[in-house]
Amino acid sequence: MAAKETPSPVLKNKDLLRDAAFINGRWIKEASEYFEVTDPASGKVIAKLPDQPISAVEEAIDVANNAFKTFKNTTPRQRSAWLRNLFNLMNENQEDLAKILTWENGKALSEARGEIKYAASYFEWFAEEAVRSYGVTIQPGNCSNRAYTIRQPVGVCGMICPWNFPSAMITRKVAPAFAAGCTIVLKPDSQTPLSALALAYLVEKAGFPRGCFNLVLSHTRTPEFGLKLCESPKVKKITFTGSTNVGKILMEQSASTMKKLSLELGGNAPFIVFEDADIDEAVEQALACKFRGLGQTCVCANRFYVQSSIIEEFSEKLAGKVKKFIIGPGLQEETTHGCLINQKAIKKVDEHAQDAIEKGAEVVLKGGPLPEIGETFYSPVILTKVPHSAKVSKEETFGPLCAIFSFDTLEEVIGYANDTNVGLASYVFSKNVDKIYTVAEALETGMVSCNTGIFSDVAIPFGGVKESGFGREGSLYGLEDYTIIKTVTIGNLPNRI
State which of residues 39, 396, 467, 481 lies at the interface with ligand NAD (CB under 6 A): 396
What is the x/- site pattern for ligand NAD, positions 294-313, by CB under 6 A? ----x---------------
Start-to-end CA span in the chain (Å): 83
Count the site residues for ligand NAD by CB under 6 A. Answer: 24
* Closest to ligand NAD by CB, 197 or 311: 197
Residue 132 has phi, psi (to 5 degrees) of -125, 65
Given ligand NAD, ligand O=CCCC(=O)O, none, residue 56, with its beta carbon under 5 to 8 Å by kind, binds none
The bridge status of strand 381-384 relative to strand 362-365 is: antiparallel
Using CB under 6 A, list all residues that contact ligand O=CCCC(=O)O.
Answer: 164-165, 297-299, 456, 462
Given ligand NAD, ligand O=CCCC(=O)O, none, residue 456, with its beta carbon under 5 to 8 Å by kind, binds ligand O=CCCC(=O)O
Tell me the closest approach of the beta carbon of residue 424 to ligand NAD, in angstroms. 5
State which of residues 249, 363, 460, 465 lies at the interface with ligand NAD (CB under 6 A): 249
Which candidate in 59, 115, 129, 264 is catalytic?
264
Given ligand NAD, ligand O=CCCC(=O)O, none, residue 223, with its beta carbon under 5 to 8 Å by kind, binds ligand NAD
Tell me the closest approach of the beta carbon of residue 116 to ligand NAD, in angstroms. 17
* Closest to ligand O=CCCC(=O)O by CB, 133 or 456: 456
State which of residues 35, 123, 178, 398 lies at the interface with ligand NAD (CB under 6 A): 398
Could you tell me the CA-to-CA distances from 83 to 89, 130, 206, 238, 335 in Å, in that order? Answer: 10, 9, 7, 21, 33
Long-range contact pairs involving 24-30 (C-beta distance under 8 Å, separation at least 24): 24/59, 24/60, 24/63, 24/210, 24/211, 24/214, 25/204, 25/210, 25/211, 28/52, 28/56
State which of residues 57, 60, 97, 424 lies at the interface with ligand NAD (CB under 6 A): 424
* Closest to ligand O=CCCC(=O)O by CB, 299 or 365: 299
The bridge status of strand 235-241 relative to strand 260-264 is: parallel
Taking CB under 6 A as the rule, does residue 264 contact ligand NAD? yes
What is the x/- site pattern for ligand NAD, positions 165-184, by CB under 6 A? ----x---------------
Between CA 277 and CA 395 the distance in angstroms is 27
Between CA 197 and CA 454 the distance in angstroms is 28
* Closest to ligand NAD by CB, 169 or 180: 169
Long-range contact pairs involving 51-56 (C-beta distance under 8 Å, separation at least 24): 51/217, 51/218, 51/219, 51/220, 51/221, 52/21, 52/28, 52/216, 52/217, 52/218, 52/221, 53/221, 54/221, 54/224, 54/225, 54/228, 56/21, 56/23, 56/28, 56/216, 56/217, 56/218
What is the identity of the amino acid at 329? P
What is the x/- site pattern for ligand NAD, positions 447-466, by CB under 6 A? -----------------x--
Given ligand NAD, ligand O=CCCC(=O)O, none, residue 398, with its beta carbon under 5 to 8 Å by kind, binds ligand NAD
Given ligand O=CCCC(=O)O, ligand NAD, none, residue 177, with its beta carbon under 5 to 8 Å by kind, binds none
Query: Which residues neighbour 394 within 8 Å (Cβ) at sequence distance 6 or greater?
Result: 268, 420
DSSP, res 427: E
Determine contact, residues 248/242, Cβ cutoff 8 Å.
no
Q: C-alpha 122: how far from its chain's center? A: 13
State which of residues 189, 350, 467, 481 lies at the interface with ligand NAD (CB under 6 A): 189
Tell me the closest approach of the beta carbon of residue 13 to ligand NAD, in angstroms. 26
* Angle, helix 244-254 to helix 222-231, in steps of 10 degrees: 40
Determine contact, residues 416/388, Cβ cutoff 8 Å.
yes
State which of residues 223, 320, 360, 491 lies at the interface with ligand NAD (CB under 6 A): 223
Residue nearest to ligand O=CCCC(=O)O (CB): 456
Q: Which residues on neighbouring strands pair with residue 272, listed in sequence order?
A: 305, 428
Tell me the closest approach of the beta carbon of residue 397 to ligand O=CCCC(=O)O, in angstroms. 14
Is 264 assigned a catalytic role? yes
Determine contact, residues 130/80, Cβ cutoff 8 Å.
yes
Given ligand NAD, ligand O=CCCC(=O)O, none, residue 160, with its beta carbon under 5 to 8 Å by kind, binds ligand NAD
Q: What SS3 class is residue 76? A: helix
Given ligand O=CCCC(=O)O, ligand NAD, none, residue 307, with its beta carbon under 5 to 8 Å by kind, binds none
Q: What SS3 class is residue 36? A: strand
The bridge status of strand 301-307 relative to strand 269-273 is: parallel
Tell me the closest approach of the beta carbon of residue 454 to ligand O=CCCC(=O)O, in angstroms. 8
Number of H helices, E strands in the chain: 13, 24
State which of residues 100, 265, 277, 413 lies at the interface with ligand NAD (CB under 6 A): 265
Tell me the closest approach of the beta carbon of residue 258 to ligand NAD, in angstroms. 19
Determine contact, residues 341/105, Cβ cutoff 8 Å.
yes
Tell me the closest approach of the beta carbon of residue 232 to ligand NAD, in angstroms. 13
> How long a stretch of residues is the chain?
497
> Which residues carry out catalysis?
264
Q: Which residues bind ligand NAD (CB under 6 A)?
A: 160-164, 169, 189, 222-223, 226, 241-243, 246, 249, 264-267, 298, 396, 398, 424, 464
